[in-house]
């Protein structure tokens, strides 16, 4: 897809950034997955109903399966008489003749020729007798669940782009589908950049910090249904980043996370050398230093580590969900009541971390303080979205929230 030059290497708004990313990323090819292994995958083709559901007419209630022409004149004064066939655990194997009926339970497939189920309150059967007295007229179809009434053969049971969760797997099983077409999981490479960064088992030097953004990205990539590609760390600038990007050529997408103090321009220069840069910065806070390019036709994202969550949710995750062909690439959005006043700089869209709680009064969001936003141990359930033209949201005001999770 071609974009006007004005959209390249310039500051753009957050909505345009997501739109460009979703349009530019490639779609993954289709593969088959078994019903169990399909959990969490994205459906690549419409799942069609192969046979009517239910497959046959079913009794919708306990009673007697009968033929409606046999009881057209039934009344309390002049009941119609039917002969009750012997009970069977499989009444659908029986064939009703004129003037006969058979006892059925709710959910039983009906015997041949049956087109009505008579409820016990509309009939009388002397104890131990095989004769049934019908006291009320019943129309054809009464107390019957018709074949195909839930889903007809050829109907779309689940549309392409759906993420297969527990309920969707139950539907797949109910339709008798041993395997479904899903999008291949993209392999996402991770490149973290920082001179004073140590991994989990490394000795922590004075002034250094742990490479927590690497593990945030590992979890985020797996959580959105992707696989891990090459995982690298470089301590130098443009040259090291360019080298790492070349080493990730087997990945389908690459995320470069810059530690605090690392020059954003160095990463952008590396992207320019190797590929096509679509934008360098996004008009949002935090995570303004987020860039997007394609390197060898593969998406490459640059995000600031200090705002990795915000950059991930607004730019990276939507792109990866688009690669998977998901019908919805955004997190759920909700309106929430603010538990405290929030002041920001107008002119830029703000994404403020928050804890969410639900009650009988609805959803409430408590904005995290600046200290809490930088504390990795502070739980974040959502991001409050503050529009560009807003500087203050008072306590009790309603605000849009990107819902990441909700604690009980």
At residue 268, the 3 state secondary structure works out as helix
Verify that 166 and 226 share a domain, yes or no: no
CATH number at residue 311: 3.40.980.10
Same domain, 191 and 318: yes
- Structural domain count, the chain: 4
pLDDT at 7: 43
* Tokens at 306, concatenated: 């200090």
Q: Is the peptide bond before 286 cis (omega within 30 degrees of 0)?
A: yes
Structure tokens at 184: 């291949």
Taking the C-alpha atoms of residue 19 and residue 294, their distance in angstroms, rounded to an integer, is 15
Tens place of pLDDT per residue across the chain (408 aa): 444 444 445 789 999 999 999 999 999 999 999 999 999 999 999 999 988 889 899 999 999 999 999 999 999 999 999 999 999 999 999 999 999 999 999 999 999 999 999 999 999 999 889 999 999 999 999 999 999 998 888 999 999 999 999 999 999 998 888 889 999 999 999 999 998 888 888 888 888 889 999 999 999 999 999 999 999 999 978 999 999 999 999 999 999 999 988 899 999 999 999 999 999 999 999 999 999 999 999 999 999 999 999 999 999 999 999 999 999 999 999 999 999 999 998 889 999 999 999 988 899 999 999 888 887 778 899 999 999 999 999 999 999 999 997 655
In this structure, are 279 and 395 located in the same domain?
Answer: no
Which residue spans within 217-348 are E strands per DSSP?
227-234, 253-258, 275-279, 281-285, 291-295, 298-304, 333-338, 342-343
Report how far residue 393's alpha carbon sits from residue 352's, in angstroms, rounded to the nearest whole number. 12
Query: Does residue 87 sit within a domain?
Result: yes
Residue 328: inside a domain, yes or no? no
Same domain, 104 and 172: no
CATH at 45: 3.90.105
pLDDT of residue 407: 54
Run of H or E including 241: helix 238-247
| 315 and 366 housed in the same domain | no
In-domain check, residue 263: yes
Q: Buried b vs exposed e over 228-258: b needs ≥16 C-beta within 10 Å?
A: ebbbbbbeebbebbbebbeebeebbbbbbbb
Residue 34 lies in a domain: no
- Look at residue 200 in the predicted model and tell me its pLDDT: 87
Residue 35 lies in a domain: no
One domain, residues 229 and 281: yes
- CA dist 50 and 45 (Å) reads 14
Q: Are both 194 and 313 inside the same structural domain? A: yes
Domain span at residue 284?
5-28+185-323
DSSP letter at 127 equals T
φ/ψ of residue 313, rounded to 5: -70, -30
Whether residue 33 lies inside any domain: the answer is: no
240 and 308, same domain (yes or no): yes
Is residue 345 located within the same domain as residue 231?
Answer: no
Whether 136 and 210 map to the same domain: the answer is: no
Q: Which of 253, 237, 258, 294 is closest to 8 using CA atoms?
A: 294
DSSP secondary structure string for all residues of 203-234: ---TT-EE-HHHHHHHHHHHHTT-EEEEEEEE
Of 232, 234, 230, 281, the C-alpha closest to 251 is 230
Look at residue 408 and tell me if it is in a domain.
no
Q: Is residue 315 domain-shared with residue 369, that is, in the same domain?
A: no
CATH of the domain at 363: 2.40.340.10
Q: Would 19 be classed as within a structural domain?
A: yes
Are 230 and 359 in a shared domain? no
Whichever domain contains 115, its CATH number is 2.170.190.11
């Amino acid at each position: 897809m071609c974009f006007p030059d004005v959209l390249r290497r310039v500051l753009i708004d957050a909505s345009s950034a997501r739109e460009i990313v979703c349009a530019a990323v490639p779609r993954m090819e289709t593969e088959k997955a078994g019903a169990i292994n399909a959990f969490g995958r994205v459906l690549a083709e419409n799942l069609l109903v192969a046979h009517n559901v239910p497959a046959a007419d079913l009794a919708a209630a306990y009673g007697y399966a009968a033929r409606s022409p046999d009881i057209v004149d039934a009344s309390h004064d002049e009941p119609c008489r039917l002969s009750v066939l012997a009970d069977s655990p499989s009444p659908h194997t029986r064939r009703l003749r004129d003037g006969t009926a058979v006892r059925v339970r709710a959910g039983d497939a009906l015997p041949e020729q049956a087109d009505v189920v008579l409820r016990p309150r509309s009939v009388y059967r002397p104890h131990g007798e095989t004769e049934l007295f019908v006291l009320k007229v019943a129309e054809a179809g009464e107390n019957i669940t018709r074949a195909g009434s839930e889903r007809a053969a050829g109907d779309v049971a689940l549309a392409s782009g759906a993420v297969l969760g527990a309920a969707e797997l139950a539907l797949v099983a109910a339709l008798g589908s041993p395997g479904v077409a899903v999008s291949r999981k993209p392999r996402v490479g991770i490149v973290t950049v920082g001179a004073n960064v140590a991994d989990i088992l490394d000795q922590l030097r004075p002034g250094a910090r742990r490479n927590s953004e690497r593990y945030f990205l590992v979890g985020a990539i797996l959580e959105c249904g992707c696989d891990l590609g090459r995982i690298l760390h470089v301590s130098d600038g443009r040259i090291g980043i360019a080298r790492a990007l070349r080493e990730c050529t087997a990945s389908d997408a690459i995320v470069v996370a810059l530690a605090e103090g690392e020059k954003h321009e160095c990463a952008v220069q590396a992207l320019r050398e190797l590929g096509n840069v679509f934008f360098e910065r996004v008009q949002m806070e935090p995570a303004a230093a987020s860039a997007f390019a394609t390197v060898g036709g593969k998406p490459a994202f640059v995000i600031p580590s200090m705002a990795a969550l915000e950059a991930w949710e607004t730019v990276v995750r939507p792109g990866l969900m688009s690669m998977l062909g998901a019908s919805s690439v955004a997190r759920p959005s909700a309106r929430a009541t603010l538990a405290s006043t929030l002041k920001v700089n107008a002119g830029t869209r703000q994404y403020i971390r928050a804890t969410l709680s639900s009650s009988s009064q609805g959803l409430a969001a408590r904005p995290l303080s600046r200290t809490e936003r930088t504390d990795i141990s502070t739980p974040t359930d959502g991001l409050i979205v503050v529009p560009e033209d807003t500087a203050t949201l008072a306590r009790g005001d309603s605000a849009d929230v990107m819902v990441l999770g909700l604690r009980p």
